[in-house]
Chain A
Amino acid sequence: MPGSGLGPDPADELVRTLGTWGLRILLLTLAVSPASRVLRQPRLVRFRRMVGLWAFTYIVLHFIAYLAVLAGFELATIAADVVKRPYITVGFSALLMLIPLAVTSTRGWQRRLGRRWRMLHRLVYPAAVAAWTHLMWLSKGGFMDPFVYGAILILLFGERVAARFRRARRSPSR
């Protein structure tokens, strides 16, 4: 579409751009609490929910764009894709894991769920791994993006493990 800025294949480009930003912002969400520890800025954590909701927004738009401009809202195509194409199956499962997190992101739900809220929101880790797998499985020939995002994911997970380890040492079990 001339002038759209999306190039010769605008439908594919739109889906890809939204997916790329969805993944980046999801990683940014996971980076908030490590950053608050490393920079000793505990107040940063207040932004985590907002960043997470932005990630969710992009991912939902990515999904809607796929439904509309690539799948043309054809149920048979969509069902076949979700069942038969492993990269879409994992992408879809990442989306399913993120939905309850978005729904329960309000203060009200946080209060209602209490300690279980934290447990529930650990779902973000498998969701991120599934999103990364989605990217890995749809890449062919070149693996720069999965490598870079994978490295970031490992760093962010590593920092969490290290932080936990430090905490355990500071308060030896009695």
Chain B
Amino acid sequence: MLIRTVADIKPSQITPEHVYRSRRRFMRETLALAGAGVALPATALPAAWLAERAVRPAAPLYETMTSESDATSYNNFYEFGTDKGDPAAHAHEMTIDPWTVEVSGEVAKPGKIGLEDMLAGIDLEERIYRLRCVEAWSMVIPWIGFPVKKVLDKFEPTGNAKYVMFETLHRPSEMRGQRSLFSSIDWPYVEGLRLDEANHPLAIFAVGMYGKLLPKQNGAPIRLVVPWKYGFKSIKSIVSIRLTEARPVNTWNDLQPREYGFYANVNPSVDHPRWSQARERRFPTTLFRPNWIPTRMFNGYDEVAGLYAGMDLSRYY
């Protein structure tokens, strides 16, 4: 089933040909590579897992897509180091097979569950989203995933559940950033959403991007993508989902409460002490065309505004 807002627009018209390749070709290539024994990055889900599933195509986004090589080589994933290239260089040290996620707190059916079981019966879709980092750069990435709500509903949140808290894997033996003596982060990395934010149809868990399973540096095997919030909210390599009544304390808010809030909605009018949030550099960028564009409220996803009706967003940043 196609959900196209404008008929007959080929994805190739909105994204460079070399970046976009059809899903069928992806599947063929992924399978061919796997068959040929070429070393693909190991993933918690076998490559065939994705290939065997129907993925509902994304609604087009009329903006140039960021190249896969930029999106997989320029990452903030401090578990592997603080340089943008560190995750791509070191994330292979993390084993993600098998992968279990613990669901706990205010749910009727708590438990620890293997990733494949957790995803059973959930339909995958592609979503082309803008990703805006608090450091004033941004990308456009085709994710493969599904609404967060679909997983939460499986565990039946109780009436007391007001927030969702997520945690990244904490395994210093495989995550060199967690061993660093110079890191000020109190591991594991924690993020959180209000339950109604998590249940918003735009909030997804991603298991893939660019037609393939997620690379480790992008948060394999499962990560959050909340496109109207700064990138640090979109927590990677999730091992724990906890429904809570009290608001969880997210990592960056804990470290620098004046710089990073709990909500972290993209907002050009709330300045950050280090970066002006009025504009952003959109990848691809070049030396003499840094590609600055104005930043939009909620990163352009106006449909979430209702979640914050009556809130002073300069106070709840």
A binds B: yes
Given known pairs A9-B283, A81-B276, A142-B180, the reply for A70 and B78 (CB within 8 Å) is no
A7 interface neighbour in B74, B78, B177, Cβ under 8 Å: B74
B contact face: mostly helix, strand, loop, or mixed: loop
Contacting A at CB under 8 A, from B203-226, are none
- In whole angstroms, what is the CA distance A77 to B286 when docked? 20
- In whole angstroms, what is the CA distance A1 to B180 when docked? 31
Cβ proximity bits A18-57 to B, threshold 8 Å, 1 near / 0 not: 0000000000000000000000000000000000000000
List chain B residues, Cβ under 8 A from A12.
137
B69 interface neighbour in A8, A86, A141, Cβ under 8 Å: A8
Is there an interface contact between A143 and B287, defined as CB atoms closer than 8 Å? no
- The reply to whether the CB of A126 lies closer than 8 angstroms to some CB of chain B is no
Is there an interface contact between B183 and A11, defined as CB atoms closer than 8 Å? no
The tally of residues in B whose CB lies under 8 Å from a CB in A reads 32
Is there an interface contact between A11 and B290, defined as CB atoms closer than 8 Å? yes
B: residues with CB less than 8 A from A are: 69-70, 73-74, 78, 81-82, 84-85, 137, 177, 180, 182-185, 255-256, 271, 273-276, 281, 283-288, 290, 292
List chain A residues, Cβ under 8 A from B290.
11, 69-70, 72
Known: A7-B73, A142-B182. 17 other contacts (CB 8 A): A7-B74, A8-B73, A9-B74, A9-B281, A9-B283, A9-B285, A11-B281, A11-B286, A11-B287, A69-B288, A72-B292, A139-B82, A142-B81, A142-B177, A143-B182, A143-B184, A147-B182
Is there an interface contact between B285 and A142, defined as CB atoms closer than 8 Å? no
The total number of A-B Cβ pairs within 8 Å is 75
**B82 — nearest CB in chain A belongs to which residue?**
A142
Cβ proximity bits A115-144 to B, threshold 8 Å, 1 near / 0 not: 000000000000000000000001111111
- The reply to whether the CB of A107 lies closer than 8 angstroms to some CB of chain B is no
- In whole angstroms, what is the CA distance A8 to B271 when docked? 25
List chain B residues, Cβ under 8 A from A58.
none
A14 interface neighbour in B73, B74, B78, B287, Cβ under 8 Å: B287
**A10 — nearest CB in chain B belongs to which residue?**
B287
List chain A residues, Cβ under 8 A from B84.
7-9
List chain A residues, Cβ under 8 A from B287.
1, 4, 6, 10-11, 14, 69
- In whole angstroms, what is the CA distance A148 to B244 when docked? 41
List chain A residues, Cβ under 8 A from B74.
7-9
- The reply to whether the CB of A170 lies closer than 8 angstroms to some CB of chain B is no
List chain B residues, Cβ under 8 A from A164.
none
